[in-house]
Structure 1
Amino acid sequence: MNVRRLLIGGFMTVALAVAGAAVPTAASAAPSEGRKVDAVPTPVLDWAPCFTIAECATVRLPLDYDRPRGATTEVAVLRVKARDQANKIGSLFVNPGGPSVAATRLALAAPLFMSDEVLDRFDIVGVDPRGIGLSANVRCFASAEQQAPVQRNLDVAFPVTRAEIRAYVEGSKQYGRACSTTGRPLSGAMSTTEVARDHEVMRRAVGDRKLTFLGLSYGSVLGQYYANMFPDRFRALVVDGVIDAQAWVGNPRQILDERINSSGGSARALTEILRRCDRAGPTACAFAGGNFNTLARTLEAEPLAVGKYTVTYADFIYAVLEAMYLPTAAQEVPVLAAEMRDALHGDTAALLRRLEAAEAGTPPDTRPYNNDLDAFYGVVCSDGRFPARTEQWPAAVAAREQVNPYFGAALGWKDSACASKTWTVRDEDRYTGPFNRRTAAPVLVVGSFWDPSTNYAGAVATSRRLPNSRLLSSTNFGHTAYGLGACATAATDHYLLTGKPPADGTVCTDAAVASKQLAPLAVPFPRSVLAVPR
C-alpha cells in the first residue's frame, strides 16, 4: 500500500525568479510564428455530446509546424457552452497545469468553481496538450509490463536513503532513454511551444477573433509562451500561480528547482503556517509549540508503523507539501503534524483513521497504461536545458535541501529524467524567448504570497519582465489564487469579462471562496494526482 498516496489523498481536490531588462518589441505576432500557424488550415470541429454537460471533438494538428501538411497528432477539445448564448463574449480557454493534467478535466469542472457571470458569457474550453489526457497519448514503453519495473525505481515520494537514491537515478535514466526512443516522435513534439501553437489554431477553430485564456500553475508558462509568440492575438490573458518562463527554460548548469525555487515557496509557506500556529496557541492550534524539525528527523531515523501501514519521512513531508495546496493549509498542516506527533508517542488512532479513510476513498487506477510520467517528462524535458548526467542530481538536490530543508529534496528530483545524455530526443523548433514582448492587451499576472508550489517571486519577475502586465497579489494560502481567494477570483473574473485589469500592484487580503463546491488546484506533478474528493 502506497502510504504517500493515502496521506496526500485526503488533501487533494480536483484538479517555479529572474527579471529581464531588454527593450521589448512591438505587439505583433512573431513573423515566423504567425507564418507557421497561419499555414495550417482552420480545423472543422465535429462536436458531439459528452459527459452529460459538455461537447467534445478531436482534431489532427501538425506534429511539426514546419511541416504543416506532414505527420499529425490527435488533439482533444471539450467545451461547456455558455449559458447565455445570445450575449456570449466568446470562449475562455483554460489550462490547469501539471504539466500533464488534462485541460478537458478543468473545463468540465468549470460549473463547480467558476462564477455565474463567467459561465453565462463564455464557452469554457479545454484543449488537452498533445500527448496528454484525451489527446493521443505519449507512451515511452511498449507495454505496461515493460514500464512497471522502471516505475518501481521511482515509486517513492522522493528518495532519501542511499539505496533509494541509486534506484531513483537508475529509473530516471531508464525513463529518459525510453522516452527518447519508444516515445518518439510524440515525446519530441510536446513542448509548450507546440501547445501554444495548437491553441492559436484552436482559437480560429472555435471562431474567436482573439484568445481569452486562464492558465494556472504550469498553465502560466503556456500563457507566457502564447503572449510572447502571439502578442497581438489575445483579448484577455491571465496567468495565476506563476512560473517565470525564462527560468523555466533555464540553463544546463542548473536543475529545475534551482531556477524556479519552488522549494523556497514551500519552505516560506510552512514557516508562516507554523508561526501562525504558535501565535494562536494550543487551544486554537493543535501543533502550537511543536517542534516540526524534531518530528521530521524522528521519522527520518525510523519509519512509523501504523496498523498495516508504514509511514516514512518522505511520505510525511510530501503530505505536508500537498496539504499546503489547500486554502485551509494553515489549519490542515498543524492537524496533520499533531496527528503524526501523537502517533510517534503511541497514540495512533487519529492517523490510522486518516489512512483508512484515504484508502477507502482512493479509486483504483484501471488504465491499462499509465502515461502520467511520460507526459510530465515529455513537456519538462522538451522545454528546458538540463545538466548532462543524471548522476549530477544527488549533489544538486542535496544543495537545494541545505537551502530549503525538507522541500529541496521533495521537489529537486522532479526533472531527473531530463539529463541531456539520456534524454536525447529534441524539439529543435521550441521557443526559448524573448519573454518580454509588449502585448497589445494587458496580461494579468496573479501570485499568492504563500503558494507552496509556484513561488510568489515568479509572479513578481514575470510582471516586471512583461511591459504591458498588471500584478495582482493575494494573501491566500494554497496553490493559485483563482477559485481560492474571493477578492483575487472576483478581480480575475472582472478582467476576463471586461478586459480591464485591476491596478498594478493590487493586493487582495483574501478570504476563502465559499460559494462553490470546490476550487481547482493545479496538480504539481503526475505522481500526485490520485486524490480523494473532499
Structure 2
Amino acid sequence: MPRPIRALTAAGIAGVLLAGSAVAPAAADPTPIGRDRLVTSHRTSPEEARRVDRVPTPKLDWYACYDYAECATVRLPLDYDRPNGATTEVAVLRVKARDQKNKIGSLFLNPGGPGGSGTNIALAAPYFLGDEVLDRFDVVGVDPRGVNASQQVRCFPSVKDQTRAYEGLNVAFPYTKAEEKAYVAASKRVGKGCSTTGRPLTGAMSTAEVARDMDVLRRAVGDRKLSYLGFSYGSVLGQYYANMFPDRVRAVVVDGVLDPNAWVGRGRARNQVQEDRLRSAQGAYAALREIMRRCADAGAELCALAGTGDPLAAYELVARRLKKNPLVIEDPDFGSYTVTYADFVSATLSGLYDQYGYEQVVGLTAELLVLTDPATAKADRQRARAAVARVAAQAKQQRAYDFPYDNGLETFLGVDCTDGNHPKNAGTWPARAAKADRRDPYFGRIWAWATSPCARNTWTVRDEDRYTGPFDRYTTNPVLVVGNYWDPATNYAGAVSAARTLPNSRLLSSDNWGHTAYGTSACATGAIDAYLVRLTLPRRGTVCVGDVQPFAPPAGPELRRAETSKSALAEQGEPRPGEPKQLPPVVPPLPAVGTLTVR
C-alpha cells in the first residue's frame, strides 16, 4: 500500500500547518506546457544576470549528516554588487532522490517565516512529500542568510542586552495602554539594535538576496532551471525568484500565498501597516466565524458549544470577560497562571493553523466560558481548569527570552523590515492596530503588531538591492499558485491577486482547514506533485476539499489524527527502505512574535 502523505502539522515541521481530500480530480491540463504559447518568456534582466552569473559556481563539499541526509556550507557574497567582497556562510542540506537513475534534478524547499529553516524542512521531506517527488528529486533545503545553521543574525551583543531590549514584548500582543506603551518602547529598541549591532547582515537579508543565493545554489547542484516548492512566506521567495529570473524557472509552486505587491507596499500603501495590505486577520476571522457556524449547525452532540445557542456569541462573551478581568488559574501541576484576552486570541489563532484546530477553538472557548463565570459550580470549574492551564503554560514558555541567544524574532524582522515599506513612527501602532481590530475583530491587533519594530524612524538599516517589483513577469514555465479558503495567515485573496498578476500562472483553490494546502488531500497533493514531476497543471477552476472538516467524520480513510509529532510519526508504520525510523529532534517551530507563530 502506498505510504500516506502526511500533512506538515502531523510531522511537526517548521510551523507550516497543513490539513486534508479531493472534491474535484486533480486532472492534468490536456494541453502540454508550451504548446501554442503566444508570449515569449521575459528574460533575467542584464543587471540581475550580472550580479549572480559572475559569482563562481560554488563547490558543495557534501558530507553525511543526520543518518540519511547530506550537509554542506558555502560562503556567498554579502552584497552581490561586490562579489569579491565580504561573504556570509549559508547552510544547505539535501535528501537524495531514491531513484537516482531517473532523477529529474533538485527540488528546493522553503517553509516560510520569514526565518523558517530550509534545512529542517528538507530533512523532514521523507515524512510529508509524495513518493513520486521523493523518488525523482534530490530535496534541497537552504537556511536563508541569518537563519538557523547559516551565519546567524544577532541584533544585540549578549543575551542580557537582548532580554533587556525585549522587555515589553512578553505578551501575545499589547492590549492595555500600559502594554502598548511598553511594546512600542521595546519595538524601538529592537529596531535600533538591528540597525546597528545587527549590521551588516540585517541590511543583507532581503528576500531578493535569498533569491540570488538560491540561483547560485541552483547552479551548484547542477540544475539548468529551478524546481521549487515554497509554503507561506516561502511563496514570497518563490514569486521573487520567478520575477527576478523568469527564464530560469522549471517548476515553481507556491502554497499559502502572500501577494508580493502587498508585502512590499508600493505607492500610497507604503505608509500603511503591512497587515492593512495583507489582511491576514480577515482570513482568520472568516475561519473563526465559519467554525462557529458549523458548530451551531452540528448541534450539541457533535459540538458542545452549540448548547450555548450561538457559539460565536459565546466566544464574544469570553472575550469581553477576559478584557475586563484576566483569569488567574491555580493549578497543582502548572502552578499559577494568568490568562488574558490576548492569550485567548493568540491560542485561537494557533488553533486555526491546524486541520483539527477547530476542536481547540471550541474546546477552549467552552472551558473559559465556565471559568470566567462566577456562578459556575466548583466541580465544573475544576474540570475546565487543567486544559486552560496547559494553554497558559505553553504561552508563558513561548514568550520566554533566555539562554541561549534566540534570534527567531530578529530573523523574521531582518527580512520583513527590509523587504517591505512600513510607517515611520512606532508610536502610531496602537491606533493603527486598534483600527485593524475594528475592521477584522480579534485578529487585527495580533497581526498588525507583528511589524512594529519595522517603523522607519527606528529600523534604519536598508538593503539598496532589495527587489520591489515588477511582479508580472512571464515565466518560461507556469507558476502554480495554491490558495486555501480558510487560511488564517495567508488570506486566500492573496493567492487570487498573485495569480492574476503573474501572466503565466495557474490558480489551484482548496477548501481545507489550517494553514496551506499540501498534504490535505489527494486532490491538492496530487496536483502539486504532478506539476513538480511531470509539468502538468490542474484544470482551470479546480477546487480541492480537505479530508478534515469541522464536526464531520474524516473523508479520507488514511488520514489519522495526530496529537503530537511523535505520535504522528509512530502512526506511519514501518518506513520505506532507506528512510529514517524517527524524525531527528532538529525541527523547531517558526520564530514567534510574542506567542504568534508567523507566516
Which of the residues 393, 396, 411 maps onto 1:375? 411
Matches within 5 A, 1:310-329: 310-329=338-357
Q: For residue 101 of structure 1, report the CA deviation from its aligned partner.
A: 1.1
Match of 2:291 in 1: 273
In structure 2, relative to structure 1, the CA distance for the partners of 1:530 and 1:522 (3 Å cut) is: closer
- Deviation (angstroms), 1:365: 8.4
Matched AA of 2:389 = L
The structure with the largest alpha-carbon Rg is 2
Kindly indicate whether residue 280 of structure 2 is the aligned counterpart of residue 262 of structure 1: yes
Q: CA deviation at 1:85?
A: 1.1
Partner of 1:502: 538
Residue 28 of structure 1 deviates from its aligned partner by: 1.3
Answer yes or no: is the 8 Å Cα contact 2:95–2:138 preserved in 1.
Answer: yes
Cα gap change, 1:196/1:276 in structure 2, threshold over 3 Å: closer, same or farther?
A: same
SS at match of 1:252: helix
1:112 to partner: Cα distance: 1.3
CA contact (8 A) 2:547 2:559 kept: no
Contact (CA 8 Å) 1:220, 1:242: kept in 2 or not?
Answer: yes
Q: Per-residue deviation at 1:145?
A: 0.5
* Alpha-carbon separation, structure 1, partners of 2:596 and 2:278: 22
Aligned: 1:215 with 2:238? no
Cα distance in structure 1, aligned partners of 2:238 and 2:173: 29
Change (3 A) 1:530 1:273: closer
The reply on whether 1:342 has 2:366 as its aligned counterpart is: no
The CA distance in 2 between the partners of 1:11 and 1:149, in whole Å, is 36
Distance 2:533 2:496 in 1: 24
TM-score (norm 1): 0.92
| 1:102 corresponds to | 117
> Which residue pairs with 1:388 in the alignment?
424
Is 1:13 equivalent to 2:12 in the alignment? yes
Q: 1: distance between equivalents of 2:467 and 2:174? A: 33
**More displaced stretch, 338-347 vs 304-313:** 338-347
Query: 1: CA distance between counterparts of 2:144 and 2:179?
Result: 32
Q: Does structure 2 conserve the Cα–Cα contact (< 8 Å) formed by 1:98 and 1:522? A: no
- Residues of 2 paired with 1:295 and 1:302: CA distance? 10
Cα deviation code 1:274-296 (max 9, x no counterpart): 11111111111121133211111
- Residue in structure 1 matched with residue 579 of structure 2 by the alignment: none
Q: Distance in 2 between matches of 1:530 and 1:419?
A: 21
Deviations 1:314-341 (A, max 9, x none): 1110000010001123333212211222
8 A Cα contact 1:386 1:420, kept in partner = yes
Query: Aligned pair in 2 of structure 1 residues 398, 135: CA closer, same or farther (>3 Å)?
Result: same
Q: Deviations over 1:243-286 (max 9, x none)?
A: 00011000332001001001111111111111111111111112
Aligned twin of 2:519: 483
Shift, 1:344, TM fit: 2.2
Range 118-127 or range 477-486, more displaced? 477-486
Give the secondary structure class of the aligned counterpart of 2:305.
coil
Provide the secondary structure at the position in 1 that maps to 2:147.
Answer: coil
Question: What root-mean-square deviation, in Å, do the aligned CA atoms of Structure 1 and Structure 2 show?
Answer: 2.5
Task: Map 1:151-190 to 2 at 5 A.
Answer: 151-190=166-205
Q: What secondary structure is seen at the aligned counterpart in 2 of 1:380?
A: helix
Whether 1:432 aligns to 2:468 is yes
Of 311, 328, 348 in structure 2, the residue corresponding to residue 305 of structure 1 is 328
Q: Map residues 117-196 of structure 1 onto 2, 5 A cutoff.
A: 117-196=132-211
Shift of 1:452: 0.4
Name the residue aligned to 2:19: none
| Separation of aligned partners in 1, 2:391 and 2:11 | 13
Name 2:505's counterpart in structure 1.
469
- Match for residue 243 of structure 2? 228
Secondary structure of residue in 2 paired with 1:450: coil
Alignment of 1:387-406 (within 5 A): 387-406=423-442
Cα offset for 1:102? 0.8
Is residue 11–residue 322 contact of structure 1 (8 Å, CA) maintained in 2? Answer: no
Q: Cα distance 1:527–1:238, how it changes in 2: closer, same or farther (>3 A)? A: farther
Q: Is the 8 Å Cα contact of residues 339 and 392 (structure 2) preserved in structure 1? A: no
Trace 1:280-295 onto structure 2 (pairs within 5 A).
280-288=298-306, 289=309, 290=311, 291-295=314-318
Equivalent position to 1:71, from 62, 66, 86? 86
Distance 1:359 1:48 in 2: 40
1:358: how far off?
8.6
**Does the Cα contact within 8 Å between 1:27 and 1:231 map onto a contact in 2?**
yes
Aligned-residue offset at 1:81: 1.1
For the residues of structure 1 that align with 2:401 and 2:137, how far apart are their CA atoms?
33
Instruction: Provide the TM-score with structure 2 as the length reference.
Output: 0.82
Does residue 1:449 correspond to 2:448, yes or no?
no
User: Does the aligned pair in 1 maintain the 2:115–2:591 contact within 8 Å?
Assistant: no
| Cα-to-partner distance string for 1:121-152 (whole Å, 9 max, x where unaligned) | 11111101100111000000000000001222
Residues 432-480 of structure 1 deviation map (CA, whole Å, 9 limit, x = unaligned):
0000011110100000000000000000000000000000000001000
Could you tell me how far apart the structure 1 residues matched to 2:118 and 2:342 are?
29
Q: Aligned equivalents of 2:168 and 2:394: distance in 1?
A: 26
Write the letter of the residue equivalent to 1:14. I
Partner of 2:575: none
Quick one: structure 1 residues 456 and 150, their matched pair in 2 at CA, closer, same or farther if it must change by over 3 Å? same
Q: Secondary structure at the match of 2:281?
A: helix
- Quick one: distance in 1 between partners of 2:246 and 2:597? 37
Instruction: State the shift of 1:207 in Å.
Output: 0.9
Q: Compared with structure 1, are the counterparts of its residues 329 and 185 closer, same or farther at alpha carbon in structure 2 (3 Å cutoff)?
A: same
1:194-209 to 2 correspondences below 5 Å? 194-209=209-224
Aligned to 1:4: none
Unaligned runs of 5+ in 1: 1-9, 16-23
Distance 1:400 1:320 in 2: 18
Q: Following the alignment from structure 2 to structure 1, what is the Cα–Cα distance between the partners of residues 403 and 593?
A: 14
Report the number of matched residues.
514
What one-letter code is carried by the residue in structure 2 that aligns with 1:386?
H
Give deviations 1:190-210, integer Å, cap 9, x for gaps.
000000000000101111111
Partner residue, 2:127: 112
Q: 1:324, 1:231 → 2: CA distance?
A: 35
8 Å Cα contact 1:273/1:329 also seen in 2: no
Aligned mates of 1:86, 1:440 — CA distance in 2: 26
Match of 2:97 in 1: 82
Offset at residue 27 of structure 1 (A): 2.1
CA–CA distance in structure 1, aligned partners of residues 368 and 591 of structure 2: 24
CA distance 1:77–1:351, shift in 2 (3 Å): farther
CA distance in 2, matches of 1:69, 1:507: 49
Q: Secondary structure at the match of 2:222?
A: coil
